[in-house]
Structure 1
Amino acid sequence: MTHSRYDLSASETEPEPDGLDMPALARLVFGHAAFQYLHAACELGLIRLLSRHGALGKDAIGTRLGLGERACDILLLGCASLGIVVREGDRYRLAGLVAALVEAGDWDGIENTVAFEGHIAYEGQADFTASLRANSNVGLRRIPGTGRNLYHRLSENPRLEAVFFRYMRSWSEMANHHLVSHVTELAPTRLLDCGGGDAVNAIALATASPDLTVTILEIPQTARIAERRIVEAGLEERIHVHAGDMHAAEFPGGFDVVLFAHQLVIWTMEENTELLRKAFRALRPGGHVVIFNSMSADRGDGPVVAALDSVYFAVLPEEGGMIYRWQQYDTCLTAAGFGAARRLSGVDTPRPDGRGQALTRPDRSVARARIRSVVHTRTGG
């Protein structure tokens, strides 16, 4: 997979010197509606239909998708106006970018991201203002269940859980090239993957480094999914799952690297600092901590994708979280006892994420995304 396929930075224009102009304001006012057209094009099968059959007329599209004439008119009006499809004469074809992503096999990742936004993120975002006022994730009330956070509630909703893990797997696979490259440079033999999800990163790392063993620390509800994936990959001898709450107990010890992938955007900075202290204690002297997630600029004015992603973290996962600034992680790492940091950046995909060393995930959004890393090393005994 080449990462240039996902460099959609051309879609992010420079802001006006004095802020908004009227077209930009209109995009903000009606942005939610624009997304709904993309979501509908994916859910109704328009993208897949045109990728299989090429350009089609409106009647053929309506018949194949099972849509009435008015519904089909609305769908095609929006998709053509937004550039998702292109009208040529009386027929509609996929836009060049969309067609290229489908042909390259990369559209699945985009579609999984759109499904996550449509079925999970959008639900909670209705409570964004309320979440800011309460300084808490008020939007969690939109997700059925009794769990204390989004991740516990997903286990009570199998359909949403499947949507979430398809998205996270796609999102992680888009960025794994950078994660594997940087972690492999550290030549670890034992790695702790905190909040390792369905093992997508652990499998990629273990596959790339035959001498590496990985321990995944995950909540019990997710541990079962990780164990199944590990068996499917044939790596159960080298990847092990430790079921537990990373906030509730000490980490197991004796590791060369502790990895936080897509984790330290979920919690408050105070919680992040405590997790980093646990990571410090779990590392051998000279070990590394790797933070792999999106980070915003130290100036606090961008990138746009960091701001957009922060809406999700404000309303849903936990009571604290956002796309934090580089220097905020530096402060946490120093408080946890780590030495000098090494920051690493890479441009990658749309969207939608080391303790001794810090890396970061690509920003979640259809614009420029940067993988950012800070390298921190444990010194002393």
Structure 2
Amino acid sequence: MLNKNFSPKNQSAFSARFEAQKIAFGPVVFQCVHYAWKRGMLQALSDAGQSGLSVAELSATKCWTDYALKVVLETCLSAGVVYLQDGNYVLDKTGYCILTDKITQINFDFNQDVCYEGLAKLAESLDKEQPIGLNVLGPWPTIYEGLSELPEPAKASWFAFDHHYSDTSFPTILADIFATAPKHVMDIGANTGKFSCAALAYNSAVQLHLVDLPIQLAVAEKSLQDAGVRERAHLHPTDLLNAEQPLKSGMDVIWMSQFLSCFSEAVIATILQRAVAALGPKGQLIIMDTFWDRQRYDIASYCLINTSPYFTSMASGNSKIYESTDYIRLAELAGLELLTVRDDIGYCHSLLRFGVASA
């Protein structure tokens, strides 16, 4: 059983109470730091170097009022984003990270533009297991039907978040996909077609079968055409929430990347059952996903765990970032057996390879 503890050992009651206040005021801190970053306060302090700037000096630029500067920078001070030195505000290491670290910026934008307003409906979403918060972005039953129609800046922030995590992994896993020399590979949850394009470019003989909702396959088809690989791609419009819709059979490899986390355990079970039926002789199922229980560093586990409420309020209402043992258990129930596991792919991915269990 996994043992995990994010609290310092021997934490005092006073320290615990301080941590509790950080949680209570978390939304306030987020918005103030976001303002300081987006409106250029942090950049101005970075440009000033170790000497920093006073409120009067910042106000003289006419970019912010004294009032706005004091409210925002005092919150940034409390969060360790800046520090005070001889009356001047100086950018601290956390503030520098916000200014320069791409993944931090992507996480900020995703939570602000996609999640923040809808998370106010988290309690109702949890109670009903429906993405009640999604209505702030559009009228779809889940976010997946509306990805190509999301309003800006939510659309750009969603795709930046999704692609930044997956794109760092694709270059290192293509050899895994083709290790058994498959002729027919199925990409379930093809999304924009990025993986399919990469796989078709990697192997000039493979036939790629893309499975997703019609609206997503339309986006993927354009990607395939632009990449000049459309002739070896086969589109299979499928609503995977419909357990009665089978998958095309005879597949040598079925691939799923950051896909099953979009569904409840009950739906995952039906998808895995259909995947087993679609595999040809000696076919394999390969799943790449972000499992919070398989992370080397607590920072990765923290980010993944706290992505789950997005799935609740905004995406589907009943999915999450899972533990790897959840997938393995559901795969075994579907008639699969775990063959290999590879961790530390890209930022935080793991690769699970399954074969059909022996009778």
**Shorter chain as normaliser: what TM range?**
0.7 to 0.9
- Where does residue 31 of structure 1 map in the other structure? 26
Partner of 2:132: 138
Partner of 1:365: none
- Alignment partners' CA distance in 2, 1:96 and 1:34: 13
Residues 246-257 of structure 1 mapped to structure 2, 5 A cutoff: 246-248=240-242, 249-257=245-253
Verify: 1:344 aligned to 2:342, yes or no: yes
Larger Rg belongs to: 2
Distance 1:101 1:216 in 2: 38
Question: Which residue in the other structure is 2:239 paired with?
Answer: 245
Change over 3 Å in CA distance of 1:80–1:226 after alignment to 2: farther
Question: 1:178, 1:346 within 8 Å by CA — same for their partners in 2?
Answer: no
User: CA deviation digits over 1:248-275, x for unaligned, max 9?
Assistant: 3222233222122112112111110111
Q: Give the distance between the partners of 1:31 and 1:186, measured in 2 at CA.
A: 48
Q: Are positions 1:376 and 2:354 aligned together?
A: yes
For the residues of structure 1 that align with 2:216 and 2:119, how far apart are their CA atoms?
24
Distance 1:240 1:173 in 2: 22
| 1:79 aligns to 2:76 (yes or no) | yes
Match of 1:294 among 290, 300, 319: 290
Distance 1:309 1:163, change over 3 A: closer
Match for 2:309: what amino acid?
V
Partner of 2:150: 157
Give the AA of the match of 1:67.
Answer: W
CA distance, structure 1, for counterparts of residue 132 and residue 210 of structure 2:
30
Alpha carbons of structure 1 residues 76 and 283: separation in structure 2 relative to 1, 3 Å: same
Residue aligned with 1:158, SS: coil
Mapped contact 2:169–2:345 kept (Cα < 8 A): no
3-state secondary structure, aligned to 2:306 = helix
Report the Cα distance in structure 2 between the residues aligned to 1:37 and 1:267, rounded to whole angstroms: 34
How many residues are treated as equivalent by the alignment?
A: 341
Residue 285 of structure 1 deviates from its aligned partner by 1.7
Tell me by how many angstroms 1:75 deviates: 3.0
Q: Which moved more, 1:93-102 or 1:202-211?
A: 93-102
Q: Is 1:278 paired with 2:263?
A: no
How far is the alpha carbon of 1:191 from its aligned partner? 2.1
- Structure 1 residue 309 displacement after superposition: 2.2
> Matched residues in 1 for 2:234 and 2:20: separation?
50
Q: Is the 8 A contact 2:59 2:65 kept in 1?
A: yes
SS of equivalent residue, structure 1 residue 316: helix
**Shift in Å at residue 287 of structure 1?**
1.7
* Residues 1:193 and 1:74: Cα distance change in structure 2 (over 3 Å): farther
Q: In the alignment, residue 319 of structure 1 is paired with which amino acid?
A: G
User: 2:312 maps to what in 1?
Assistant: 314
What CA distance in whole angstroms lies between the structure 2 residues aligned with 1:59 and 1:222? 52
Task: Show the counterpart of 2:327.
Answer: 329
TM-score normalised to the size of structure 2?
Answer: 0.78
> Does the residue aligned with 2:354 lie in a helix, a strand or coil?
strand
Query: Is it true that 1:119 corresponds to 2:119 in the alignment?
Result: no
1:148 aligns with 2:147: no
Q: Match of 2:254?
A: 258
Q: Name 2:196's counterpart in structure 1.
A: 202
Does the CA-based 8 Å contact 1:196-1:216 persist in structure 2?
yes
* Residue of structure 2 aligned with 1:193, choices 170, 187, 201: 187
Instruction: Show the counterpart of 1:358.
Output: none
Q: 1:217 to 1:36 in 2, by over 3 A?
A: same
AA partner of residue 69 (structure 1)? D
Shift in Å, 1:153 = 3.5
TM-superposed deviation, 1:71: 1.6
CA RMSD of aligned residues (A): 3.6
Give the residue type in structure 2 aligned to 1:308.
Answer: N
Structure 2 CA distance for aligned equivalents of residues 18 and 190 of structure 1: 58
Q: What's the CA shift for 1:310?
A: 2.0
Structure 2 contact 172–345 (Cα < 8 Å) conserved: no
Within 2, Cα distance between the matches of 1:100 and 1:38? 9
* Counterpart for residue 6 of structure 1: none
Q: Which residue of 2 aligns with 1:359?
A: none
